[in-house]
Amino acid sequence: MSLLSVRMRASLGGKHVSGAERLTEEEFLPRVLCELLRRPGEHDFLKITIDRVEEVIETEPLKVSSFNFGSVEEARRFAVSKLVEAGVPKEVALKGLRLLAQGANPKGGNMRGAVLMDIRSGERLENDPERGVRTVRMDWKGRDRVRKFLLERGFTERTLDALAVATKNVLCGVLAELCWSDDPDYTTGYVASPKTGYVRIHPLKERGDELGGRIYFIESERLEEVVKCLERRAVLLRGLPSS
Binding site for ligand PML (CB under 6 A): 156, 158-159, 162, 179, 181, 188-190, 200
Collapsed DSSP state (helix, strand, coil) of residue 213: strand
**Residue with Cβ nearer ligand PML (124 or 158):** 158
Q: Considering only CA atoms, which of 88, 91, 84, 65 is closest in space to residue 188?
A: 65
Q: For the CA atoms of 178, 183, 187, 189, what is the dihedral angle to 10 degrees?
A: -20
| Phi and psi, residue 16, nearest 5° | -60, 130
**Residue 235 host element (H or E):** strand 234-237
CB of 165 to ligand PML, least distance (A): 8
Q: Rounded to whole angstroms, how far apart are CA atoms 100 and 95?
A: 9
Q: Is 236 helix (H, G, I), strand (E, B) or coil?
A: strand
Query: From start to end of 113-226, where are the E strands?
Result: 115-118, 138-140, 176-180, 189-193, 197-202, 213-218
Q: How far is the CB of 150 from ligand PML (least distance, A)?
A: 9
Among residues 92 and 241, whose Cβ is nearest to ligand PML? 241
Q: Of 132 and 189, which CB lies nearer to ligand PML in the complex structure?
A: 189
Tell the smallest beta-carbon distance from residue 81 to ligand PML (Å): 18
**Which residue number, 167 or 188, has a Cβ lying nearer to ligand PML?**
188
For residues 13, 178, 173 and 121, what is the CA-based torsion angle, rounded to 10 degrees?
A: 110
Burial of 227 (0-12, 13-18, 19+ CB in 10 A): buried
Tell me the closest approach of the beta carbon of residue 209 to ligand PML, in angstroms.
13
Comparison of 179 and 234: residue with beta carbon closer to ligand PML? 179
Residue 197 beta carbon to ligand PML: minimum distance, rounded to whole angstroms: 12
Q: Enter the DSSP assignment of 160.
A: H
Between 39 and 222, CB nearer to ligand PML: 39
Residue 200 vs 233, nearer CB to ligand PML: 200
Bridge partners of residue 5, in order along the sequence: 23, 51
Q: How far is the CB of 198 from ligand PML (least distance, A)?
A: 7
